[in-house]
Structure formats: structure tokens, C-alpha cells
Amino acid sequence: MSLRRTIFLFLVVCTSGLLAPDALAQADSETGLAEVRPQAGEGIWSLLRRSGVDPTPAVVAEFKAINKDRLKGSDELRKGVAYRVPVRSRHVPLFGKAYADVPIRSDKLKGHVYYIVGGHGGPDPGTLGTYQGKQIAEDEIAYDTSLRLARELMMDGATVYVIVQDPDDGIRDLNTLPVDHDEVYYGNKTIVLNQVSRLRTRAKVINDLFDKQSRTAKSQQVISLHVDSYGYKVEPQVDVHFIVGSRSGKKLARAVRDTVQDKYAFYQPERGYKGEIKSRNLMILRETKPTAILIELGNIRHPGDQHRLVKPANRQTLAEWIKEGLIRSALGTTNV
């Protein structure tokens, strides 16, 4: 793939068991019923939203059908009555015991395919740092964030492939993530030490999946996460920076940048924000067929960035903000 369909995005925010090869993307959703009592003044739509369910016309019709004996009239909720809410979920062991059950809250991203790549892995831990006397590794922080992003995307109906996978580590609510070297590529393919071979294998895994999805996918994108801060030494990376080479890449970059900008304006209005758009020739961007983004989450050797990135809540926030930017792009809500 040529560079004109790739983008490189730098991002920082100041704020178990392996699956079978196709299980993560193709696991069947299960529909169950949860019982919820309405709050004062609440209607069907707000009750569904509070329950984590997107109130589409089809869902509302289903809700009315299964609760017709409990409603007042055809659509009014009764005070104190428990209503049955249809809840869809998927079970993904890769996310770990605490996060394996994934509620499907909407179909916003149905038909959109994402290849989530935690940087480095296996014999290559990436850049190393030291935080409060303990070693921290780029690949562990990137991997935990990549799982959180994958789970967030699945909640909105996306098809997701986690390309770097760990047989033991799901999403971890820990400040210090132990360093190991047992990660493999999707399909249980070994991650080798030689960098060129490693990156070529990674690209082939993605491209093979891309070909399988090409007839039915609305869009396909690679999201690669790193914590290295290329071009920075010990300075904190305080803004989102992009490398783009195409109109589609620019659209995706602006969608994520605009999301981060909006978040800063809301949560830290005095901070200010600048996001640069640049380009760089990296194999993960050049050799993969889908439009690709590489996101630098911060500088693993800078104390300020370390303090942010070791916190599970901040890694979760990163995942949520990136997901919102991807939704902006998928739904065409960002002007290019």
C-alpha cells in the first residue's frame, strides 16, 4: 500500500487466554433480559439509554412488545414497575475475567472493521522506563490500552481484530504492569526478534484479514498504539500530532484531533491545544492495505507522562476518546 493512504498520529492526554483465530471478530452476540425500574419522569428512551442500550426504533419496538403487560397504554412507564430491557453482549476471554462480558450498546460501527495493534510485543518490549523504582515497558501500556480500545469499539458494534495478543494478560487495573515476553500475533503466530521479519508478519496478518473482509466491510482501519514519543527525548508530549498522506487519512486524523480538542476544551478549558499534521514513512503505515494510524500515547521516560499512563483510569479515558474520534470519522461528522 502506498503512503498516500496512511497516517501517523501522535497522541498524549494530560489527564486470558488466547482466542481461536476468528473468535474475537466473529463471536456470536447473546441477547438477554435485564430488569430495570424507571426513575422519576423517565420515559422508554431514557430508560434504555441509562441501561446502556441504544434506543433505535427496532429496540424500542422490542421493548414495548416484551413489556406490553407492564406499560400504561402503549408507551408510558409505570412508577415502581420493573421493566425487561433487551441487553446484547459478547463474551471475549481475551479481555480478562473482569472485562470478558462486553455489552453491545449500539450498532453505530456495524460493518466497520478495526485492526488494533499494541506496539512491539514478544521478545521486543519497546522503550523501557522506570517509575517509582519499577520497570515499565512500552508494549505493556500499549497492549492494555489496545484491549480497552478494542472493547470500546465492540460496544458500538464494530468488528475488531486484536493483532498482538497475550495468553495471560487481559485488561489490567494495575499501575505497574509486569513485563513479560509471551505475546503472539493474531492466529497464534510467533513474534520474532528480527524487526523486519516481525513487521512483515504483522502486515501480512492484517492484509490477509483485510482481503477476507473487503467485500462486506464499510471501512477498514489499522490503529497502532505506542508509548515512545518519537522525536522527543524527555520532554512530555502534550498534543496530538498527525502524519497524513491522503484525503482519507486527513479525515481520520481530524476526527480524532477534533475529539481530543473538544475534550480538552470541556475538561481543561485553560490548557489550550494544538494538533499538528505531518507525514512519516513507517512499515505499519506503508505495508498494510487499510488506512493506518500510529498513535503515540506519550513519552514513557518522562515523569509527567509516566504518572498519567500508569493510571488505569487514564488508559481507559484514552481508549474512549480515540473510539469517539473513530466514530466521528465513520459517521462522517468531521469536515475535511
pLDDT(217) > 60: yes
Q: What is the CATH number of domain 3-27+105-331?
A: 3.40.630.40
Query: Do residues 19 and 305 make contact, with C-beta atoms less than 8 angstroms apart?
Result: no
Among 31-45, 166-180, 195-209, 295-309, the range scoring the smallest mean pLDDT is: 295-309
CA–CA dist 51, 20 (Å, integer): 31
Predicted pLDDT of residue 232: 53
Whether the CA torsion 280, 254, 318, 221 is positive or negative: it is: negative
Q: Which residue has the higher pLDDT, 299 or 113?
A: 113
Predicted pLDDT of residue 302: 83
Residue 16 pLDDT class (50, 70, 90 cuts):
very low
pLDDT(1) > 60: no
CA–CA dist 294, 284 (Å, integer): 8
Per residue in 160-205, pLDDT tens?
999 999 989 999 999 999 999 999 999 999 999 999 999 999 999 9
Structure letter (DSSP) for residue 76: B
Residue whose C-alpha is closest to residue 23's, from 88, 93, 89, 121: 93
Per residue in 222-273, pLDDT tens?
999 988 765 555 555 545 445 555 677 777 878 887 887 888 789 888 877 6
Domains in the chain: boundaries: 3-27+105-331, 30-89
How would you label 263-289 residue by residue, b for 16+ Cβ within 10 Å and e otherwise?
A: bbeeeeeeeebebebebbebebbbbbb
